[in-house]
Structure 1
């Protein structure tokens, strides 16, 4: 009883297996034949069964074609109780060279497909007004450049106005032993070709070969999605279609550096050097900064290709170069490289100085000649730090005279006063009582004046307790107080400003050009702190300044020693 049932079950299984092995139908087709070189076409493989994704492999196609994205979709249709299932693979292929190619046979779940012959032809524009919906072109500006010379690669994508593109991307060109960089973003324009209107999207790339010899540039690749208009469909509905376009590969014959060229290799279409000095007159006092700005602009290069400047200066100028600033931008589809060098010079002595001429050799590939970009030398005039006389108002002069030491400021006034009194007394009367009265009044006035001067000098010593046993006129006290506050807060800009304000406050026309800065710098500890301050302000490496208290300590010590040596030289009247 069970044996007939078992035999029937096995028979059903064999029938189903036989149907799957021998009933599977595979159809292979292309959407166009012949096809155009570097333009994509679709290969469609359709099976009448629900098959897994991995049942079809596109690997055999890679020998002759560029294989793009592969999509798969399945569908089922039920009619009169019978369900029909379908699996469809769509592969986007592109041929790089013209000729005849064969799409091989595929083995899918034991079923073999038929090979297909494909003809690939060169691009041709029809003369009757009918053109392709999409095409792409690529051109290079120079096929035989010099090593490190910029080559401009221009890509034009043509899109038919009646077939709008939904989206798309352009992959940049590739090249071994060369740098590739996009110069401009998408630029759009319109053209009429054989009576048809096209939207044209342009991209420009810069290719810079890094070695001589043959360099192959692989063309760009465009991938996009569009909808082909379908007037027969419901409400004009159409399925999205994919398109792939490529530009041909280009071979560059890169020339080596000419043997007659001298110096560091620097190839460009144009090189310009600009030099500016601040102040523009080039005249400053000892210790005042001079800022030099040198800008080098070159066409068709990156900033890294511009030769570095050798910053040098004559003795007597301390040099503080800043980090060079690099910039790159595009102008008229050409890359422009620019480097700006900023250098601060601090003169340590007076005199005439010269910043030497700047010369940069370069090679012009268009003229096939060596050139040289130059700037003239710059003359600097350094004056003493205290060469300008200080203009003091009559009130200020009176205060200064009142602050002078008693033996130098008041004694001449006593002698002059007595002589004046005797002269006046002799002219008016010989009465001894009158002379006595005048003498008493004069003594009272003199005692009062001495007491006032001593009180004022005592207040001055108390206000200047930071620098003991020194004599500081009123005009220099405020800059000193500000200098101390700036040192305590470690503010290098304010420290330098108040240090210069103090130097300007203590100078006058009796200084004979001998600035106090040079005298203070004779103390090595202060000279080192001043150099550290200048380095923090003008040096290449910017860091937090924390030596304010050390600066004030060394300054106070140098100030005290200078006063003890010669107070009038430190603060001349």
Structure 2
């Protein structure tokens, strides 16, 4: 049984030896492989030098290429067995980087296998200057239309001044990073558009199966002159192109963890390229308003409106103002909607109108309110006459006129005028002149004799009978000399107190440092004394050396363990008694030391005395 196991083990070892020796017996060959023959500037191509066959005593010689760098990325070894045939290969990995665009040739690599020399074939490749061809120019050419474009809903014929609702959409592909430089602008002659909202509606839409980010504006267009006009919308933006942290990663592994495009957005340099999104050209036809049926009260209002007129108060006196409120609601060009004209009449006096506008949810919807003050000149039961608003309805294609209902009022005679008339009638009926009451002249009281009780009653300050002090000028106090002197004195006091506080802190720090040094001396002397009682010469000298280093480190603000004999001579001088002690202890650290008890006591006393002197 044991003999069978030995035989099996022997066969297994022979098989392993064959696997190990067989590759070296195969005929060696070398090959150079470049994974791509064309790449952009700033990218990398992967170059592999594959050595098949013998792998003992290999030496690869790299060529030099002008404006091209070869970045070694290690080597990999592979052994495979197919149908009992064993093969091996050794691969040298490189990343090829070009410093300028152009055509290049990789010269042969030379492989030395002992006395044999092998070479690879030359490889030609091209480096371009533009890594991304998706946004080629700023004018919307190339493939910019696939990245961003604008659509608008415009149709039909319109009238001058008519407000035409338009839905404006700007589409941007989701897989691009884009920054807006402007809102959409109108390119047209004879057509105007109001200013767009800087916060449009945002949503996502699929166009031909491609997802887009969409910005939506609800706006309107108005033609200002008749004719056929070409309308186009334009929007300026910036395309953010990642520098691709080198599109060919520096990792020797394909599709590794750090080949993720998500990391490219964070760590790559971003290139900014201006692009322009355009809409297709639309025909915007403006036809003139019809002359037939145009009322005299028409003043350019186009749309669909309603009119409401309110007058308040309903009961007034002659000469009191009445507020007339005219509210016009609907859809249309409110810029051309004017207040209905109050009819001319000797019974009324009118004043100019004031207007206010509240926009609705739709761009062309809203409410415009006019207020006008009117005054009745006659008494009795009168009416505010009907007011007229004429406009053109583009949906019906004709003019319409709105007429308000008359508003009844009750106007009474002015009370002041009635009182004056009544007094005149009383005096005229008796034939006598009305008595005029004599008014006693008012004698002003002398200054300074105002009753104190009256002053307290009206909360008045007492009157001064004499003039106070006079001043040559009225400069504020912060512009006077004494104020600057006070400020300077305060600054000097602060500086002086700061200096005293600094000196006190330094003195306290010095006292703390001295106290710390004395404690260190006591601790190390105790350790040295313990080593002496234990008659351990080596430990005694080591602790004595450490004590000197620690104390000199505190004194010179150096690292204690780094202080050597030359540093000690520089700090204390050549004649210090600590020099021979440190030299003896320093030598004992590398050789055997022998000290008597008397020598250790003498060294300990010298150390204590010299440290206290310092």
TM-score (norm 1): 0.42
Larger Rg: 2
RCO greater where, 1 or 2, for CA within 8 Å and sep 6 or more? 1
